[in-house]
Amino acid sequence: MTHEFHINQPDTALCSALQKKIDNLTKPRGSLGRLESLALQVGLIQQSLTPELRHPQNIVFAADHGIVAEGVSIAPKEVTWQQVCHFTHPQGTGGVNFLCRQHGFQLKVVDVGVDFDLPKDRGIIDRKVRRGTDNFLHGPAMSEAEFERCLEIGAEVVRECAAEGSNVLSFGEMGIGNTSPSSIWMSRFTGIPLAECVGAGSGLDQAGIAHKLDVLQRSVDGYAGDGSPRDWMRWFGGFEMVAAVGAMLQAAELGIVILVDGFIMTACMLGAEQLAPSVKEYAVFGHCGDESGHRKLLDTMGAQPLLNLGLRLGEGTGAICAYPILESAVRMIDEMDNFRDAEITKYF
């Protein structure tokens, strides 16, 4: 059964009242720049003149990719399960762990298709569809039923977060080889030539990038599906990527603010937009990463990332790093006084 999401564009009737409140804070109009546009966006998402951010969580979806067999990544496939175990180690010493602690995020790790029997005592959410996708050089990565199941897995996890009180979520991924399907999604849904979408991933040299492009081009040339966005995503997707798409769509349907991470999660937002264009209204793009093609993808989507730190780790790290800026925007509209109440002459 095809999973449908019902996402409303935020009602703009409140826009003038929000803008008036922002303009009458004790500052020159527009002087807090992006904080002002972010406050307006969050206020519209929440339909409130006093928006708030509650219980932020970062959800990492993990799965393996059959295309790794073609040598498209410098990292071996076992790094996927090793990193998942690392994220969920009691000491919490992974890249995403220290950032979650620093910024008050709860971390959830979801096994959607890791090719390993992960430990049962680490709190990993077991939603394994199967142990990795098929090699899309030779056919579709997943079946239509698996695609729909992944959408539902992502949506289900978001509903759990909403029940726990979250109204802001970031999403990350762990899946060796997943820059390859992301590059194909980017090329297909933007019209940008594939060669401009393919980068080094976890560290390929120029020869490696050329090989990766050759494999991906041959894969695309062999596509024999129906041409719909759903079909392209299931033919060339990863289980963790499709779960992230479902999570983003469900978050938007529930009016949750979505923090978008790097290249792979931006490609997932692009995929989600193919299914429900209004989803992007709920998205805050955390950063521009160092993966080749990410800046071009953001520009094509009309997205303005908050940070540019040369990050390319994934896991949700760039989105979490950007969270304090979002928090500052909300604090601005909620905590700053206005000229009248502060008895300050309005000087513009």
- Give the separation between CA 71 and CA 88, rounded to whole angstroms: 28
> Could you identify the residue written with the tokens 């969050």?
42
Start-to-end CA distance of the chain, whole Å, equals: 57
Q: Are 303 and 270 in contact, with CB atoms under 8 Å apart?
A: no
Query: Computed over its alpha carbons, how large is the radius of gyration of the chain?
Result: 20
- Residue range 57-326 forms a domain whose CATH class is alpha beta
- Give the separation between CA 16 and CA 40, rounded to whole angstroms: 10
What per-residue confidence (pLDDT) applies to 292? 80
Residue 259 identity: L
Residue 183 identity: S
**Is-above-0.85 flag for pTM?**
yes
Q: Where do runs of H (alpha helix) occur along the chain?
A: 15-23, 34-46, 79-87, 95-103, 144-163, 179-190, 206-221, 229-236, 239-253, 263-275, 294-301, 317-335, 339-342
> What is the four-CA torsion angle of 179, 294, 209, 225, rounded to 10 degrees?
50
> Could you identify the residue written with the tokens 């993990």?
62
CA distances from 123 to 82, 85, 89, 319, 336 (A): 15, 10, 9, 22, 40
Q: Is 315 a catalytic residue?
A: yes
> Could you identify the residue written with the tokens 């990544």?
73
What per-residue confidence (pLDDT) applies to 134? 98
What per-residue confidence (pLDDT) applies to 266? 98
The residues pairing with 88 across neighbouring beta strands, listed in sequence order, are none
Q: Tens-of-pLDDT digits for all 348 residues of the chain?
A: 788 899 999 999 999 999 999 999 999 999 999 999 999 999 999 999 999 999 999 999 999 999 999 999 999 999 999 999 999 999 989 999 999 999 999 999 999 999 999 999 999 999 999 999 999 999 999 999 999 999 999 999 999 999 999 999 999 999 999 999 999 999 999 999 999 999 888 889 999 999 999 999 999 999 999 999 999 999 999 999 999 999 999 999 999 999 999 999 999 999 999 999 999 999 999 999 988 899 999 999 999 999 999 999 999 999 999 999 999 999 999 999 998 988 888 877
Residue 261 identity: D
Write down the catalytic residue from 36, 315, 327, 335. Answer: 315
* For the chain, domain boundaries: 12-51+332-342, 57-326
Contacts of 154 (CB under 8 A, 6+ apart): 61, 242, 243, 244, 245, 246, 247, 248, 249, 250
What per-residue confidence (pLDDT) applies to 55? 98
The first and second tokens of residue 296, run together, are: 């071009």
What per-residue confidence (pLDDT) applies to 343? 86
Buried b (16+ CB within 10 A) or exposed e, 263-278: bbbbbbbbbbbbbbeb
Q: Which CATH number fits domain 12-51+332-342: 1.10.1610.10, 2.40.50.140, 3.40.50.200, 3.40.50.150?
A: 1.10.1610.10
The residues pairing with 58 across neighbouring beta strands, listed in sequence order, are 107, 170
